[in-house]
Amino acid sequence: MNKKGARYSQVMKELKNAYEQDYHFKDGGILGSMCTKPHPAALKAHSMFIESNLGNPGLYPGTKKLEEKVIRMLGSLLHNKNAYGHVTGGGTESNITALWIAKKVTKKKEVVFPESAHFSFHKACDLMDLTPVEIGLDKNYRMRIDEAEDKISDKTACVVGVAGTTELGVTDPVDKLSDICNEKTFLHVDAAFGGFVLPFLKELGYKTPDFDFKLKGVCSVTIDPHKMGMASVPAGALLLREKQYLKSISRKPVYLTGVQACISGTRCSASVPGTYATMKVLGRDGYRRIVKSCMDVTFYLSKRFKEIGLQLPVEPEMNIVCARMKNPIRIVKELDKKGWKISKTRKPRCIRGVVMPHVTRKVVDDFIPELKKVCRKNGEI
């Protein structure tokens, strides 16, 4: 820092320069992100509540009430109007908190999750000295239930099922996990991505698996408003079936104005009104329209992948499409140089398109010829 403050206009010029170096959803080249341009209501609400800090809730009773309403709305989306929980900084924080609760409640150490689970579960195991027990995948890249059943034991602190895997967007057989856990073993569902997709796919008439509190064995669910919920970053949420789960991690520091039952102390709370405003303005109809339009583009992208001779490991179940590649790293690198930001997967080796609302048919039409050239050059097709 300089001794003397710099000119405001000079600093703003620097910020503008940095902003221009970033990639933006509106420019169309981002095909590998699970986030998108937030809804205008989120932007407005977020800037309005920029001072809020739910780490000290007594000072922000208005924001606190909005958080309760957000939890109720998310709960009703996930078949539990009476769910407990809080808004977090995202899927990682929600997943770590879920395992923290499971550890406290059960006093056990093993966490059973599929190989396809997000790496936040490994972070959680590292942090809390829990033992990961990874389960293999079936031919559709879902958790193998026979293996899970074998490995769930009296040492299990938590079983995790994923509703919308990060890489392929498939959903584990959570109904079967719920039966196996039978309300005795803690079952957490990571619906960070799928939570704002599956309920609306169902309303659109798709055959979708049950994954939420409708299933008796499900104890907690991660759902991220900052992904398909169209809210401003960072906005995740953790929902819990029982009040005692929150109590197991709560603290009441004497110098603060309320209880904290979460990892963060001071926390970014502007995303709470951001999420509230977005959910209220969109309503179920709004989300259904968004999911429908993402799925239309998803099917279009998968058709165009096949037309240029690529193979899909699975047909898309939500708005994620993967195409097999011998060398996805090289393909992604070459596309990157041309301004296309698509991601890759480890298992199976693929390039991965996440069809968020900013990925339109026009984006696909511009992308496919470039992809074809790169694939031809590298002997992929």
Smaller CB separation from ligand 0PR, 322 or 375: 322
Rg (CA), the chain: 21
Among 34, 54, 74, 375, binds ligand 0PR (CB under 6 A): 34
Binding flag, residue 108, ligand 0PR (CB under 6 A): no
* Residues whose CB is less than 8 angstroms from the CB of residue 328 and which lie 6 or more positions away in sequence, other chains included: 344, 345, 349, 350, 351
Q: Where are the beta strands (DSSP E) in 203-263?
A: 218-223, 236-240
> What is the rounded distance in angstroms from the CA atom of residue 72 to the CA atom of residue 96?
22
Select the span of 15-23, 147-155, 186-194, 326-334 touching ligand 0PR (CB under 6 A): 186-194
- Each residue 228-247 as x (binds ligand 0PR by CB under 6 A) or -, in order, gives --------x-----------
Closer CB to ligand 0PR, 43 or 308, in the complex? 43
The least distance separating ligand 0PR from the CB of residue 235, rounded to whole angstroms, comes to 9
Q: Is 257 helix (H, G, I), strand (E, B) or coil?
A: coil
The type of residue at 235 is A
Least distance in Å: CB of 147 to ligand 0PR?
Answer: 20
What are the structure tokens assigned to 149, written together?
A: 């059943």
Annotate 320-334 with DSSP letters as a single string: EEEEE-S-HHHHHHH
Is 61 strand, coil or helix?
A: helix
Cβ(85)–Cβ(98) under 8 Å?
A: no
The reply on whether position 190 binds ligand 0PR by CB under 6 A is: yes
In angstroms, what is the minimal distance from the CB of 121 to ligand 0PR?
9
Is residue 90 involved in binding ligand 0PR (CB under 6 A)? Answer: yes
Q: What is the DSSP string of 127-168?
A: HHTPEEEEE-B-TTS-B-HHHHHHH--TTEEEEEEEBS-TTT
Report if residue 224 touches ligand 0PR, rule: CB under 6 A.
yes
Binding-site member from 36, 80, 92, 319 for ligand 0PR (CB under 6 A): 92
Binding of residue 319 to ligand 0PR (CB under 6 A): no
Binding residues for ligand 0PR, per CB under 6 A?
Answer: 33-35, 90-92, 95, 118, 120, 162, 166, 190, 192-193, 224, 236
